[in-house]
Structures are given as structure tokens and as C-alpha cells.
Amino acid sequence: MTIAWPHGRAAAVVITVAFEAELAILSVAPDATDRAKSLSVGTYGATRGVPRLLAELARRGTPSTWFVPSALLERYPEQVGAIRDAGHELANCGVALEDFGAVDTAVQLAMVRRAQEAFQHSLGVLPTGFRVGRGEMSPGLPAALEAEGFTWTSSLRGDDRPHFHAAPAGRLVEIPQHHQLDDGPYFAFNLDPPIPPGSPRIAPTGDVLDNWVTEFDAYHAEGLCFVLTLHPELIATPGRIGMLAQFLDHVHNRDVWLATAGEVARFWGEHGPANPPEHPVEVYHRIIGATTP
Amino acid sequence: MALAFDLDGPTGDAMLSGAIWDRPAYFSLGGYGPWRGLDRILRLLAERAVPATFFVPAWVVEHWPAQCRRIVEAGHEVGHHGYRHERYWDLSSSAQRAVIERSQEIFDRELGGTAVGFRTPSGDWRPETPDLLSAMGFSYSSSMRGDDRPYLHPSGLVEIPARSEMDDYASFAYTRNPDWPSGGSRIASYRATLDSWTREFDGYHAEGLCLTTIFHPKVIGTPGRAALLARWIDHMSAAGGVWFATCREVARWWRR
């Protein structure tokens, strides 16, 4: 089925940013609170990464959606203010990259609410979208988010275009993401404590550009929704930012709709078809619905 | 050249343990295979008129029957791959038999025929498994790693060995919680992986051997990787003198 994207564009592109600063380290190595070198790996994302990434996005007027743990709103007010003032979308990903897989729906929802209050208090912004920071949404969270007023999530991996959640969250739009379109699996690195745990070699920058261009060209040819995820401390080094610039030049030179996740969700909410019964979210909910009311 | 795909979907350890029922994102990553990856692969195979073999856990056939019927309708082969991707080396003979009988019934009901081919989920089996497979009517297995051409098991079962360097998991698969690869190794370069697969094929071609693949629609079936696969198949077609066949056809030929 061909998707009729806005303005007659052939495909959609959503640039998402996960601004995690020191939490990128602390969420996997919680005992690193007094390890200044390791924490500085994340700090770099706030001090150097955010300004450099904002400048690159401004260069060609690329819209983006930023997921910021609410604990960073007070820690880095200048950065988050600059993100907001540049017109980028801000979205909810919980408080401090807590592992959602370790807590139930009620606790997950409490984290989301705390973060919403912090966004309103610090920035006067009320996010409409949510991506889980670490771990997974519980099966019950989408319905709770919809009841809370959210219109979209970006936490699943079962499609290459938006889709709806299964009932009872049937109007909540999901904008799926993919590991191969995320700089984390290619570039994240700390020597000690080892992140990733097996200390794999850092991927060659040019190879990652080739992977993203190969995927993008195919998404474009098929008329899909390409969702990229960037971390300021990883993508915004002096060298990698040039790779991102090459990638964004390639994207801007194609017939695509560059939009925030919220804009794509609004479009899908108004024009997207209902999920067929074979969609993975529908299959999943039929199965768990048979065992849990 | 016996192209082969393991259509695992969300089956496997997390489903066998039940952990997947709290993990909708992990389920969705597996569901991408039958939901999106499969159609993309079927389309590029049809465009090139190349046959393939799909090893499919019967649970996937139960939950995506229309998608799996499209495999058969396109003239490809469907082989056994467990009910929920069971680890055969963990199963008694009677448990193995029960998995096979249950899966063959589902294949017969949903796909109009039973499997004659077998690929062990996760690779290993029990010492008695090849005899059991022969007794249950299978003609071949594609489970071992120790050769680059078919051979016979003592029971008479044909083996079409597959190689880890031709497994897309070794290059591209990536999950978090559970982390795979366990050490967090990188997603490989697409162009370097295509180069490796091309060199491997060229060697098999030069030596006149039999190559199969362990490709997974949820891994190789993304838009960009499917484009790589298409380029690889085009390279093989252009090489000339290649017999593209299903594993069943290779086994029949080898037996003769």
C-alpha cells in the first residue's frame, strides 16, 4: 500500500535526538557517580554536543524531536531552552532513564507524569509524545498514555511506517524506531566501566554513513517513514558531525517530508489506515488479551 | 545455490520462557519478519525468478497464515524449524517427536502439506535426532556447519550444511534486553558484509560447491538490507552456471 505523504512527498523522515548527558553512563553503570572521566563522556553531549548538533540542524532547517529525561531540565537549562527556542519538538522519556522493564504500569505512569510536570514547570512545554528511555513499556502503558493526553509513542520496532496501538489505545500512534538507524549501537563507548560490556571496536564513521544512506534510499524508494536516532555525545564530535551533514544533505536532496514525530503522528492520526489484524501489535494484544483482561 | 531463510518471527527463548509476554517491543522486533520482511524478500525473489526455502516455526504459521501461504503460492519450499523455535538438544526423543507432529499438523492444515526438510532451531540436536528425522519421513536436514557441500547422515538423511559466515545474525542482528550480541558488538558495515558474501559465493562458484544461507526476514528484510540481498543475488545470477534450487531439490539430486 502506498502512503500519500503530505505535500505529495515520496517518503517521510523523522530525526530524533536522545539527549542523555551523564545519564547515558549512569543508567548502565549506576555506581559511576564519582567517576569523573566516565561521567564526562556524557557531559560532553551537553557542553559540546548539543550546540554543535543544533547548529548542524539549523544549517538546512532540519526539524527534529528531542527526548530529554526530565532530570536534565534543571541540570542543563541553557541547552534545553536552546532546543525549544530553535523550534524543535520536546518529548517525554521519563525522569532519569530508569529501567521501565523493572517496574509495573503504575510506576511507569508515575514517572511519565513527573516528567510532564517538570516540562511544564521548567519550559512551559507539554510534550505529546513518549519514548521509553531504558527497557520497555509495559503492555498496559499505551492505554494509560492515551488517557493522559499523549498522541504518540516511539518505542516499538515492528514496522517501517507509523501504525496505531492496539485497542484500548487504538488512537495512539506509534512511530517505530530501529537499532540500525541509531548511532548508539555503532558509536557508544567507555573503556572502564566497559560500555558496551564486550568492548567492541567503534564502528568506522564512513561505514555508518553508508549503512544509513543504503537504508534511507530504500525507505525513500518504498515510500516509508525513516526514523533516525542521534545522541549528542556520539554524533556531535567534530568528525562525526560532518558525516551527519553529508547524510542530511543526501536526505534534503530527495523528495521527502522532513517532520517532527508529533507532525507525523498528527498526519497518521488523521489519514492512517486501521491496523490489519496481522499487524504485530494486534497479534500481540490478541494473545495477551486471552490471558490478562 | 540454495537460498534459505529462517522465518522465526518472535519465537525463540523469550517465548519459550514466557518473558516475551511482558515485552511488546521485543515481540514487535520479531514480528517485523513475517509482517514486513517476508513480503519484501518474496518480491525480490519473484522479480528474479529465484526459488528459496523458508524454515518456519509452526507457531509463526498459526499466527501469520496468510503470509506463510504466500511462500508456498510463490513456489518456494517451507521446512520445519520447531513449533516455537525449541532447542532440540534440550528435548527428549518423545518431546522432539511431539514438536514435529504438532508442527506437521499445522503445516498440513494451513499450508496444504507437511515439511520434508528440517533445520534445527539454534543449530544443535540430540545424537538420536537424525535417526528420528528419517523415521518421521524427512528427506534432509540443513543444520550442521562442517562442510561446504551436501553429505549423508548414517540414517540416510541428506545434510545440506550451512555456514555461520552466511548467517545474517553474525553481521546484523542486534537486540537489547536480552542483549544480542551479548557483549554489545556493533552492527556490521553493509558494504563490507556484501563484499564478504560476494567473495564467499565466488569461492563456492569457482570450486563447484553448494552454498546455502541462514538469513532471517526480520534481519535481512529491512528496506536497505533487502537491497543488499538483491544485489548479491544479481551478482550470483550474472556469474553464470549456477543452479538455483530449493533445499528439497538439492537433497533429491544428492540422493540420486
Q: Write out pLDDT tens, residues B141-185.
A: 999 999 999 999 999 999 999 999 999 999 999 998 889 999 999
- Longest Cα separation, chain B: 50
What average pLDDT does the segment A187-210 reach?
97
Strands B4-6 and A256-258: unpaired
Q: How many angstroms separate the CA atoms of A69 and B141, rounded?
A: 50
Contact call for residues B103 and B83 (beta carbons, < 8 A)? yes
pLDDT, average across residues A229-248: 98
CATH of the domain at B79: 3.20.20.370
Helix (H, G, I), strand (E, B) or coil at A293: coil
Is the separation of the CB atoms in A71 and A23 below 8 Å?
yes
Counting as low any pLDDT under 50, the low residues of chain B are none
Per-residue cell: A231: 545522541
Nearest one of A182, A166, A157, A141 to A277, comparing CA atoms: A166
Cα angle value B35/B211/B81 (rounded, 5°): 40
Q: Is the peptide bond before A185 cis (omega within 30 degrees of 0)?
A: no
Q: Which one of B23, B179, B223 has the shortest CB-CB distance to A219?
A: B223
CA angle A115/A183/B216 to nearest 5° reads: 110
In order of their start, the domains of chain A are 6-289 (3.20.20.370)
Q: Are residues A214 and A164 in contact, defined by beta-carbon separation less than 8 angstroms?
A: no
Q: Using alpha carbons only, give the angle A66, A208, B30 rounded to the nearest 5 degrees.
A: 75
Question: Cα separation of A236 and A45, whole Å?
Answer: 8
Grid coordinates given for A33: 557517580
CA distances, B253 to each of A152, B249, B250 (Å): 54, 6, 5
Element (DSSP H or E) covering residue B5: strand B4-6
d(CA A276, CA A283): 10
Grid coordinates of A229:
536516532
What is the rounded end-to-end Cα distance, in angstroms, of chain A? 33
Interface of B with A (CB under 8 A): 10, 21-32, 34-36, 63-64, 66-67, 172, 174-177, 179, 181-187, 189-192, 222-228
Q: How many CB atoms lie within 10 A of CB B206?
A: 9
Q: Which of A145, A151, A159 is nearest to A115 (CA)?
A: A145
CB atoms B25 and A156 under 8 Å: yes
Q: What is the pLDDT of residue B178?
A: 86
Mutate which: A178, A219, A283, vs B, most B CBs within 10 A: A283
Task: Judge whether residue A290 has pLDDT over 90.
Answer: no
Show the beta-strand stretches assigned E in A177-245: 225-230
Structural domain for B245, as ranges: 4-255
Grid cell locating B67:
503470509
Burial of A113 (0-12, 13-18, 19+ CB in 10 A): middle
Cis omega before residue A142 (within 30°)?
A: no
A293 confidence band (pLDDT: 50, 70, 90)? very low
- Please state, in angstroms and rounded to a whole number, the distance separating the CA atoms of residues B68 and A268: 28
Chain-chain contact of B25 with A221 (C-beta, under 8 angstroms):
no
Contact criterion met (CB below 8 Å) for A5 and A257 = yes
Closest Cα in chain B, distance from residue A290 (Å): 11
CB B54 within 8 A of CB B74: no
Smallest CA–CA distance, residue B10 to chain A, in Å, is: 9
> In sequence order, which ranges of B79-215 are alpha helices (DSSP H)?
93-111, 129-135, 168-171, 190-207
* Whether this model's pTM surpasses 0.95: yes
Ramachandran assignment for B172, one of left (phi > 0), alpha (psi -120 to 50 degrees), beta (any other): alpha
Residue of A88, A264, A112 whose CA lies nearest to A175: A264
According to the model, what pLDDT value does residue A291 have?
Answer: 60
End-to-end Cα, chain B, rounded Å? 18
Under 8 Å between Cβ of A97 and A68 = no
Query: Which positions in chain B touch A291 (Cβ < 8 Å)?
Result: 21
pLDDT digits (tens, 9 = 90+) for A106-140: 999 999 999 999 999 999 999 999 999 999 999 99
Q: E strands along chain A, which residues?
A: 11-18, 65-68, 89-92, 129-130, 152-153, 163-164, 173-174, 225-230, 256-258
Q: Is the distance from CB of B52 to CB of B76 less than 8 angstroms? A: yes
Q: Where are the beta strands (DSSP E) in B194-250?
A: none
The pLDDT tens digits of the residues spanning A150-181 come to: 999 999 999 999 999 999 999 999 999 999 99
Interface contact flag, A180 B21, Cβ < 8 Å: no
Q: Between chains, do A200 and B185 touch, taking CB under 8 Å as contact? A: yes
Residue pair B212/B145 in contact by the 8 Å Cβ criterion: no
Give the number of domains in chain B: 1
